[in-house]
Amino acid sequence: MTAIMVERHVYDPYVDLSRGGAMKRIVVAWCALVFLFFGAQVCRSEELTAAKKADIERLFKLTGVLKMADMVANQLAQQTISAIQATHPDVPARVFDVVREETGKVLGEALSESGGLMDLMAELYHRHLSRKEIKGLIAFYETSLGRKMIEISPTLFQEGMSLGKAWGQRLGPIIDERVKNRLRGEDIDI
């Protein structure tokens, strides 16, 4: 999450879309957020039954996981648009409409397809939460405090991403300088 000097150019992983960096960071951040709110207690060996999967899907719907996915799609589309604008400032506005539409469609399809992110997340929840714990989370998110968490989660996620990006950018030059100094001390020239 830091900016790194590469051949006298700043590599900012939040902007460099050519390496898939932005999407990976968004997905990792999203998963971290999910764990922040839902916990990660190791589950006893328990089979993922249809009933448990239905409870997990209910939890996803209740907590607005799909709304978060829409937010991720919008953020990814905006990053792509910014990269296009930086390299091709004269492209027609229609390009940006297509980027938004196709990003939303691809992520939507990839979320719900068999073996897609929703299935992977269901397996993840299954590994770390028992059915009883999932039911407990459902009960919590049906309370007024739980509904408040659901309501403010997108804001916390978005603001947390911004804070993390600023924090990483602030640390980038410090890390870069320390690495260079240490390598110079070991007579390694890069």
pLDDT in tens, 28-38: 566 555 665 55
> Among 70, 75, 1, 63, which residue's Cα sits nearest to residue 37?
63
The pLDDT score that the predictor gives to residue 37 is 54
Q: What is the mean pLDDT of the chain?
A: 81
CB 178 within 8 A of CB 5: no
Per-residue pLDDT tens digits for 9-59: 444 444 444 445 555 556 556 655 566 555 544 444 568 999 999 999 999
> pTM higher than 0.75 for the full model?
no
Residue spans per domain, the chain: 39-156
Structure tokens at 147: 């509904």
Could you list the beta-strand ranges (E) of 24-157.
none
User: How far is it, in rounded angstroms, from Cα 55 to Cα 129?
Assistant: 11
Residue 23 or residue 94, greater confidence:
94
